[in-house]
Chains A and B, each alone.
Chain A
């Protein structure tokens, strides 16, 4: 296992289009997180899953954003009707059960909305 995998690495889309990102966590990590990061800022929390249950969502996650984690394995983050302000790096992280809060991040998906 080589770590958290995110796909695609880069996405350019036109305003108004829908986009979907995928995250494959480290095997057997039951906790999965999505973050968004813009230039010069730290990652901002979007949502958290424990297994397949979405336990917390940030108010940053507007109605246009939805995340799923079917069967508690991979996760998808969908953004509908993209806006230029959605341009950012979207990061996924995972953590194993029964350990501390340290998280293992993927390389991120860079979204550019034109």
Chain B
């Protein structure tokens, strides 16, 4: 069955550093990989989508890579700020019918 792994331990970094979050998946081949941000008590917010034929995608301070050989995506936030503190969810997706999410990684950026 599909399995998605994100680091369940919180990632603590200092303001201004680059945060790197990992998403590993097994037993399927997603056509897309999405990243969402979720704040406590709120619904997830879509951040970025990368397609299987794309190696890297950027949006402002965010960068996502997608390695279909390693079955892994890396999510980077450069020049991190305390406002970036949240839980980040990855969703390797095969189609449009549903999203399957990882458990999420909590990011804490301290001033």
Contacts and interface: CB of A to CB of B under 8 A. Distances in A.
Give chain A's interface residue range (CB within 8 Å of chain B).
Answer: 20 to 34
Give chain B's interface residue range (CB within 8 Å of chain A).
Answer: 20 to 34
Contacts of B93: 101
A103 interface: yes
Contact of A43 (B32, B44, B45): B44
A34 B34 CA distance: 18
A75 B101 CA distance: 22
Interface string A25-48: 000000101010000111111001
Helix, strand, loop or mixed for chain B's interface? loop
B42 interface: yes
Nearest to A56: B97
Given A100-B32, A101-B34, A48 B43 contact: no
A45 B99 contact: yes
B49 interface: yes
B97 A48 contact: yes
Interface string A1-41: 00010000000000000000000000000010101000011
12 contacts: A4-B43, A40-B8, A42-B89, A42-B103, A42-B104, A45-B99, A48-B98, A103-B46, A104-B46, A105-B43, A105-B45, A106-B43
